[in-house]
Structure 1
């Protein structure tokens, strides 16, 4: 079969789909990826990527969309907008690549289009050519609802047929009642290589620190916060994707900054992780059974942080309230590690992408 994967032009939206794409390719299918932005600039290893977006600035589109809705903008920046703002923002984003995606579906003629919930252009383009779709979840929301609110704000509006299948990667204990066929979330490191020093266990707790791949105000603030408090915590801090950001800066002895690294592999020797609340990072930490300190923030990040804290698998701590005590609790509280291990066991029992490739996709052959 020919299978087209469509993702919004952001790495955090494309990379969670790659394990399934790899499984389908390994099963003998012809797989093509359609996206853009940084997802095209750092394409998944071994996959052809068609840039259907062209020049793209997510921050500019998001801000332009929200400036005409100031009250909604305030709620979105505080992480209290739910799905009210995301439809406006990603409706505008999808308008940018609907035409090119529709042309690609008509030209390449896939048998199935797999798209994520905020890539409604994939669903619309498939519908225009009578191609069945699979909705690949990548969030801690109801993925079908996100697809609906996104396509509702696209121009022009059309009725999108129901997905041929809905795959959800959220474990039941974290998002109770979520619909769709469960599929194990498997991390993808983007083809980066883990430094050899991070493959060996540390002599004291190793705490990873990660920040958003979306550039914007405050996107790397967590790095600065950790650098300031690190000397008062008996732990080793590894700042991921921070080498350029902190170039030339003198860091405390127990802090080091590295470039791109495969997070799933880095988590294998980590005691904890501090991060911005992106869904991909949350799933990677949960699958590894590693406690996490999540900073509630704009968009889905407050929602994500509170879900992790409610499950007991981590802490939700506002950026300005992260201190040495919170970081010490992250690595010393046995209840956090126990809950994280429980979720990791739950995730391990979910069907792997290879199983989904062999079962769910059989009906499209």
Structure 2
């Protein structure tokens, strides 16, 4: 069988689908990813990729949706409704420029099933137009079905232009346990982290002599706020008996000044491997980061910045595997609690067990085969 995967050119939306695609490929099926610019996001996955779109990026799409106004990402906490409305406007524009290419590709390659990120606005139209079964592949806590409906409403003119009334009925795949969220009307799958490839420093393959706390801001926040969200974490690190692993890629660190001796700057390291020997993590609340840590049972301190972070942190604190704070609220006592709070560690272990109890991507191959 042939499975066409597609999603916005953002690792937060593409990478959660990689394990599913790999499972189908390992079972002998053909998989193909269709992605828009920048096209290098998928190169390190080893999966075949076709370019779609007009060469503009997701950032370009959000600027078009806001009529060229400066983009803002960091907020004091939008409501879930505001978050989804703002996201839908940008992702609808991003999907609009991929419709023709995706329609042409699907017509030529003739996949048996289209598997698409909930925020890929063109895929439901293409699925309906060609009568190809589709699976909405969620990436975290948010509802994929709700976003598919929003995006279809914003692209109503595109549907009408192609004689399609609306998105076809879809199967949905949740990557979180029921206690954490998702849609809950289709399948659930174990979250298997895929964070890209990269070298892992040899000494991070085993436990260190002191506790380790990883610090990361994902792939989006630093473009808007640099390292400012974790500046207080870094300054307080000197008062904590732990090694802090600062993993923020090639972001400018000069705003942090002279780093404490127990703060170690790392190059790009795949997050799952970084956390394998870490005792805790401080991060922004992105779904990929939160779920990678949750799948490994690592206690978390979340400093939500924008997008879906506030939705994610509500789920995380509700299940007891994360603490929540603003950057200014971080102090040595909070970082010590992150390492020593027994209830937090039990919450992290319990959530890991819930995730591990879900079917693996390989377990769902037969379900995918049945809908094609």
1:182 is matched with: 188
Matched positions, count: 362
User: How far off is 1:150 after superposition?
Assistant: 2.0
Q: Partners of 2:93 and 2:124 in 1: how far apart?
A: 15
Structure 2 residue matching 1:43: 3-state secondary structure: helix
Aligned residue for 1:5, secondary structure, equals strand
Confirm whether residue 331 of structure 1 aligns to residue 339 of structure 2: yes
TM-superposition CA deviations, 1:19-66 (whole Å, max 9, x none): 010000000111111113346345242111112135334334324424
Q: Quick check: 1:5–1:34 contact (8 Å CA) kept in 2? A: yes
- Alignment correspondent of 1:79: 78
Query: 1:227 aligned to 222, 234, 248, which one?
Result: 234
Q: CA contact under 8 A between 2:244 and 2:263: conserved in structure 1? A: yes
Name the stretch that deviates more: 289-298 or 244-253: 244-253
Say if 1:242 and 1:257, in contact at 8 Å, map to a contact too.
no
Query: Which one of 301, 315, 319 corresponds to residue 309 of structure 2?
Result: 301
When normalised by structure 1's length, the TM-score is 0.91
1:238 is displaced (CA, Å) by 0.7
Name the residue aligned to 1:94.
95
CA contact (8 A) 2:207 2:277 kept: yes
Q: Post-superposition shift, 1:12?
A: 1.2
What do you get for the CA RMSD once the two structures are aligned? 2.6
Contact 1:11 1:38 in 2 (8 A): no
Equivalent residue number for residue 113 of structure 1 = 114
Retained in 2: the 8 A contact 1:102–1:125? yes
Which runs of structure 2 are paired with 1:1-365 in the superposition (5 Å)? 1-38=1-38, 40-66=40-66, 78-80=77-79, 81-154=82-155, 155-157=157-159, 158-163=165-170, 165-175=171-181, 178-214=184-220, 216-218=223-225, 220-243=227-250, 245-246=252-253, 250-357=258-365, 359-365=366-372
CA 1:362/1:226 → structure 2, altered by over 3 Å: closer, same or farther? same
Residues 245-301 of structure 1 show CA distances to partners (whole Å, capped at 9, x for unaligned) of: 338974321111112211112211111111111101111111111111111221111
Aligned to 2:162: none
Closer, same or farther in 2 for the Cα pair 1:96/1:322, shift >3 Å? farther
Q: Where in structure 2 are there 5+ consecutive unaligned residues?
A: 160-164
For 1:217, what is the secondary structure of its paired residue? helix
The worse-fitting range, judged by mean Cα deviation, of 214-223 and 147-156 is 214-223
TM-score by length of 2: 0.90
Are 1:204 and 1:236, in contact at CA under 8 Å, matched by a contact in 2?
Answer: yes
Q: Distance in 2 between matches of 1:39 and 1:78?
A: 31
CA change 1:145–1:331 in 2 (3 A) is same
